[in-house]
A and B are shown apart, each in its own frame.
Chain A
């Protein structure tokens, strides 16, 4: 069983972003970039499947600029077997990412595709569901537990009201939630080993996918700032403020 994990290079989650003065977007120059945290969880889960003897090969795929190769290397150092890098410098939306991944899935003939539930830059939470629809596969989103028996996968999903358990057939797209697992740290020997693993490079233009945009960004601005508050000395003062000033209790 082949497993694809899609990994996106995003601004590191600890970075406080800056917005460009011309409001055209977020300034990414000299900003620390990392693998999307949900994708690390996706890679970890794929590796555990392989360690359990349930997956034969793990292929990490990323679509992005030349530096996205580093993200793939991280996945390889964690334990993925090989990488595919679709080189692309233009901004593309999840629907187009999903079409690119569809063409790759069809070539590889994979049984499971692991996705993060959302990319922490665009916060879209779309791509996995879209790929699943395009392939006509099952989907299991926001997953915090997975159990695989032959062609049937049982998962727990994190939903607004608590947890939901569903059974899905393979092939399936699975999107990961934070509590699925704790991704491993990569060791130095594994980083060195990962350098020998192959990454196939594909030019986006060679895939023959329609790249016309569906969305146009008009502007990106900072959210209104909250004005700073006041210090209260004790519970008594707090309650009096909440009652008489804020009038919320």
Chain B
């Protein structure tokens, strides 16, 4: 048994999300091999070689993988996987979701999406219906293609391993797609997926400027800011802040939901947080059913008080 993990990276470093997938691979058992395909990606391959439990890094350093486009990568991953692997894993990030079903189709196997638990080498638990049900599924395929939900598997360390790096060849450019650009908001706050504290706002915040209040509180607590779909759709914040069934799934130690009603699609993305605080002026808001600490009140009164109290803490 051996697992090939598609490692996400930016050529000069590796993504934390893949470190969570290593934990899932470890639970499956057998060898763990990291695949780094990129362009001038030696630093990423060297970083992957230091990751504990990784016994080998397969490096494919070739122009056509510079931007990790799915059409090119899937052919490569499928070719390498078909040789000698029982499992192919990736983190269930937007990149993993983009590429892995393509790999599965080329291998003529199913994909098990966003697992939250490994039962044994071929049986996994995954959420369905926005997390309102948990399905235990057994894969009958010879090669199991699986994506891993990061919040349910701890990240392994970035040091301690000493894998050998093996070079492999690329498959050439399919020419099917071309990267143009990314527009990423560069904030100094921690990433939503790894933040210990998230202060999240909904439609109740009324406008984007009011999110400043949440940012100030997040900064006091060393946390990140999140939002509901309603808040994102209204243009208060951009899409990468959305938490929920179709946004990001988070599980911080502390989640503070402000002016959020608690629709099931939002709960799908945050209800595994350790401690949930809800601030809402509607006593009957569904968010209060899952919150640990419920504060009924007008957020425009509560937030300034909260900030002032944190200043004095």
Interface residues of A (CB under 8 A from B): 11, 13, 16-17, 19, 26, 93-95, 98, 117-118, 120-127, 129-134, 137-142, 144, 154, 157-169, 177-179, 213-223, 226, 228-232, 234-236, 238-239, 241-242, 246, 248-249
A125 touching B176, Cβ below 8 Å: no
Knowing A139-B71, A213-B140 touch, does A248 contact B253 (C-beta < 8 A)? yes
A140 CA / B102 CA spacing, docked (Å): 12
Contact pattern, B 240-254, Cβ under 8 Å of A = 1, otherwise 0: 100001101000011
B293 touching A229, Cβ below 8 Å: yes
The reply on B157 being an interface residue by CB < 8 A is: no
A235 touching B176, Cβ below 8 Å: no
Extra contacts, 18 of them, besides A142-B97, A166-B178 (Cβ < 8 A), are A13-B265, A93-B110, A95-B109, A120-B130, A122-B128, A123-B129, A139-B71, A141-B70, A158-B239, A159-B95, A159-B182, A162-B182, A179-B233, A215-B112, A232-B294, A235-B305, A239-B313, A246-B292
Knowing A17-B133, A125-B101, A246-B292 touch, does A215 contact B238 (C-beta < 8 A)? no
A159 CA / B185 CA spacing, docked (Å): 12
Chain A residues with Cβ below 8 Å from B20 are: none
Chain B residues with Cβ below 8 Å from A126 are: 101, 104, 111, 113
A234 CA / B239 CA spacing, docked (Å): 32
B277 touching A133, Cβ below 8 Å: no
Pair count A-B, CB < 8 A: 246
A160 touching B293, Cβ below 8 Å: no
Which 4 pairs across A and B sit closest by C-beta, in order of nearness?
A214-B110, A129-B101, A133-B105, A130-B105
Q: Of all chain B residues, which has the CB nearest A229?
A: B292
The reply on B167 being an interface residue by CB < 8 A is: no
Chain A residues with Cβ below 8 Å from B102 are: 129-130, 132-133, 139
A219 CA / B136 CA spacing, docked (Å): 5
Q: How far is the CB of B161 from chain A (nearest CB, A)?
A: 25
Chain B contact-residue range equals: 35 or more
A229 touching B306, Cβ below 8 Å: no
A121 touching B178, Cβ below 8 Å: no
- Partner-binding segment picked from B50-58, B203-211, B268-276: B268-276
Residue in A120, A164, A241 whose Cβ sees the most chain B Cβ within 10 Å? A164
Q: Of all chain A residues, which has the CB nearest B305?
A: A235
A96 CA / B177 CA spacing, docked (Å): 25
A246 CA / B293 CA spacing, docked (Å): 10
Residue in B132, B233, B288 whose Cβ sees the most chain A Cβ within 10 Å? B132
A82 CA / B98 CA spacing, docked (Å): 30
Q: Of all chain A residues, which has the CB nearest B15?
A: A160
Q: How far is the CB of A63 from chain B (nearest CB, A)?
A: 16
- Pull 8 A–B residue pairs with CB atoms less than 8 Å apart, ordered by A: A17-B132, A94-B111, A122-B128, A123-B114, A125-B113, A126-B113, A130-B102, A219-B135
Knowing A215-B112, A217-B136, A232-B293 touch, does A134 contact B105 (C-beta < 8 A)? yes
The reply on B108 being an interface residue by CB < 8 A is: yes
Contact pattern, B 183-227, Cβ under 8 Å of A = 1, otherwise 0: 111000000010001000000000000000000000001000000
Q: How far is the CB of A40 from chain B (nearest CB, A)?
A: 14
A183 CA / B165 CA spacing, docked (Å): 50
Q: Of all chain B residues, which has the CB nearest A93?
A: B110
Q: How far is the CB of B276 from chain A (nearest CB, A)?
A: 7
A166 touching B179, Cβ below 8 Å: yes
A124 touching B113, Cβ below 8 Å: yes
Q: How far is the CB of A159 from chain B (nearest CB, A)?
A: 4
A214 touching B129, Cβ below 8 Å: no
The reply on B134 being an interface residue by CB < 8 A is: yes
A186 CA / B154 CA spacing, docked (Å): 47
Chain A residues with Cβ below 8 Å from B310 are: 239
Q: How far is the CB of B145 from chain A (nearest CB, A)?
A: 10
Knowing A94-B111, A141-B98, A229-B292 touch, does A154 contact B180 (C-beta < 8 A)? yes
Q: How far is the CB of A119 from chain B (nearest CB, A)?
A: 10
